[in-house]
Every structure is written in structure tokens, then in C-alpha cells.
């Protein structure tokens, strides 16, 4: 049985696979920034009554399976999370690195797909994304 959620007049299960990247796909999501983002992304999602069901931060992108209530659009929630997390990163890390100049941390746009009945497959993909990226990088080096 699926875990449906409820609002006053709605029963729902709306999950999305979302991917977004830092500007110029720089590999800046590591160390203290990664720790900070883990906390901030979950807090921001909760502020909009959303839940990050599965998430993984890779040095050059973010993968998440996020549950969003039908009262919010996906673009609104992702825009909110990206904007507020960029502000949080700038406040905490600006001046410590040349990667944080006060301009937006995230690149414009994002990838999204509905999860539907393949939720477990999508969650597994997100869990193992870093291993896949490392394998791909090793293949490129072997050329």
C-alpha cells in the first residue's frame, strides 16, 4: 500500500525527481558546503510542507526525490529552494572562496520528472548516482 498524504479536501502522492547544478557546473558541493546544504535543503522543503524522500549531493549537482503537495507547483518549490539556499550559502561562505561572489550560486533551470509508480527505482538511482559518475569519469580517463 502506498503512503498517501492528505490535505483538507485532497488525498495525494506527488513525488518528483529533481536535479539542479551550480553555475557553470563547478564542482563546489563538498566539505562544509555539502554539510550545510544537507541541512538547509531539508529545512527549506519542510517550510513549504514538502519532504525530501531521497537526496544525494554530488560535487557538481544535486539529486532529490521530493514530495510536493498539489497546492504548490514544482517550479515554485524548486525556485524557492534554490533561491533561499543560494542566499544561505552566500551569507555563510562568501569571502572564503572565489566561487562565491555574491551572484547566484545555482545555474538557471533544473531537470524534473514525475516519479509515479517507479519510486523505488528512482530512489535507487539517486542513491547510486555518485558511483555511476565515478565510473563514467574513469571511463573517460581511459580513452
pLDDT digits (tens, 9 = 90+) for 31-57: 999 999 999 999 999 999 999 999 999
| Rounded Cα–Cα distance for residues 58 and 79 (Å) | 20
| Cell representation of residue 28 | 563546489
Residue 128's pLDDT is 81
**Contact status, residue 28 vs residue 111, Cβ threshold 8 Å:** no
Domain 5-116 part of CATH 3.30.70.1290: yes
Which pLDDT belongs to residue 142? Answer: 59
pTM of the model: 0.79
Residues 46, 87: contact at Cβ < 8 Å? Answer: no
Q: What is the DSSP letter of 9?
A: S
What is the per-residue pLDDT for 66?
97
Lowest mean pLDDT among 61-75, 107-121, 126-140: 126-140
| pLDDT (0 to 100) of residue 140 | 65
Percent of the chain with pLDDT over 70: 87
The residues assigned a catalytic role are 125
**Rounded mean pLDDT of 24-31?**
88
Q: For the residues of 39-62, what is the DSSP string, one character each? A: HHHHHHHHHTT-EEEEEEEETTEE
Amino acid at each position: 500500500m502506498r503512503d498517501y498524504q492528505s490535505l483538507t479536501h485532497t488525498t495525494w502522492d506527488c513525488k518528483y525527481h529533481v536535479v539542479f547544478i551550480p553555475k557553470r557546473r563547478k564542482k563546489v558541493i563538498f566539505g562544509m558546503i555539502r554539510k550545510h546544504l544537507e541541512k538547509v535543503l531539508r529545512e527549506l522543503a519542510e517550510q513549504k510542507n514538502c519532504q525530501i524522500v531521497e537526496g544525494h549531493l554530488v560535487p557538481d549537482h544535486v539529486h532529490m526525490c521530493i514530495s510536493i503537495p498539489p497546492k504548490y507547483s514544482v517550479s515554485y518549490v524548486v525556485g524557492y529552494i534554490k533561491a533561499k539556499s543560494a542566499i544561505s550559502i552566500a551569507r555563510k561562505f562568501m569571502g572564503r572562496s572565489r566561487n562565491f561572489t555574491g551572484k547566484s550560486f545555482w545555474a538557471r533551470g533544473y531537470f524534473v520528472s514525475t516519479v509515479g509508480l517507479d519510486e523505488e527505482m528512482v530512489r535507487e538511482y539517486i542513491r547510486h548516482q555518485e558511483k555511476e559518475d565515478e565510473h563514467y569519469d574513469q571511463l573517460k580517463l581511459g580513452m
